[in-house]
Structure 1
Amino acid sequence: MSSSQPDDNRGDAPAARKFGERLRTLIASAYPDERKRPGYARLAKEIREKTGGTISGTYLWELATEKKSNVTLEQLDVLAQFFGVPPAYFFDDQVTETVNSQLALLTALRDAQVQGMALRAIGLSQKSLKSINEMIERVRELEGLPDEDRHQTGNRNPHQT
């Protein structure tokens, strides 16, 4: 098996687990409200409508639940196109980490309060942004939350580019 192709060995549980986890992460990011999240048949229909690619609901379920990991390159491309990620997302840990940090940011920005805070920070000086960031880090510590900034972006100051 070359490193540029996805694993198509059904017996390789770690590959199936990684692929399934990554697919479920993408589904949850695209449909954050579980009550409105489509079933696999409906999701397959949406994928076909958006990409023109063919994939069945049953096959999506098998991939997501780690029953199968033998995805074809064509199906990999269809899934990547639908979810707006590079195909390497499914088998390259570094790409997965980068994309997941971007997805986490997008998910956070869907929260109206987080969005409001971000919008209100526009125009503040670097000194003020640093102070706000330090306060947020302190509150996260008090609430026992992980340091998402370091974990997700590898950058202590998210306001730097």
Structure 2
Amino acid sequence: MLRKLDQRLNELIAAVYPEERKRPGYARLAKEISERTGGAISGTYLWELATGRKRNVTLEQLDVLAEFFGVPPGYFLDDDVAERVNAQLALAAALRDTRVRNLALRAEGLSPASLDALLTMVNEARKFQNLSTDEDPDHPTTTER
């Protein structure tokens, strides 16, 4: 059940502190967590969780981590919840880029055919740059809706 705790914790840390050079150390992060949530967690214990050396976390500690990172506690326990949260985190990360945000905002109001054409161009550009072209099955890139 907690075999992916370290991975999920590290994904949350990276989402909150996207610039690796500006990420706090575990002691400072533990202090921030305690100050914001009132929950107690040590820097050493946080490091052990993030590196997979410890997995014996209490539900209370999971609640503290979930509160600090703004995710449901189920994020740490349920693959479906983690998948949904990670999709939201990926969207938030993409929207940090002003150009991505401007592209999305400027596309508002375009016809379905125009949006499909833009999606096709973006997918082709991603292929050209050898990037993933994972498409959202709920939003096909063709006008067959």
Q: Could you state the TM-score of these two structures normalised by the residue count of structure 2?
A: 0.90
Distance 1:49 1:20 in 2: 22
Deviation of 1:121 (Å) = 1.3
1:116 is matched with 102
2:31 is matched with 45
Deviation of 1:131 (Å) = 1.1
Root-mean-square deviation (CA, aligned residues, Å) is 1.5
**Mapping 1:93-132, distance limit 5 Å:** 93-132=79-118
Deviation of 1:60 (Å) = 0.5
Distance 1:91 1:119 in 2: 35
1:133 is matched with 119
Structure 2, gaps ≥5 residues long: none
Q: Check whether the contact 1:133–1:157 (CA below 8 A) recurs between aligned residues.
A: no
Identity of aligned residues (%): 60
Distance 2:15 2:140 in 1: 24
Distance 1:29 1:138 in 2: 27
Distance 1:49 1:148 in 2: 39
2:78 is matched with 92
Tell me the amino acid that sits aligned with residue 82 of structure 1: F
Deviation of 1:157 (Å) = 4.1
Tell me the amino acid that sits aligned with residue 156 of structure 1: H
> Higher RCO, 1 or 2 (CA under 8 Å, sep at least 6)?
1
2:51 is matched with 65
Divergent runs of 4+, >3 A:
none
Tell me the amino acid that sits aligned with residue 69 of structure 2: F
Tell me the amino acid that sits aligned with residue 155 of structure 1: D
Distance 1:142 1:35 in 2: 30
Distance 1:155 1:136 in 2: 17
1:11 is matched with none
Give the number of aligned pairs: 141
Matched, 1:27 2:2: no
Structure 1, gaps ≥5 residues long: 1-5, 8-14
Tell me the amino acid that sits aligned with residue 58 of structure 2: T
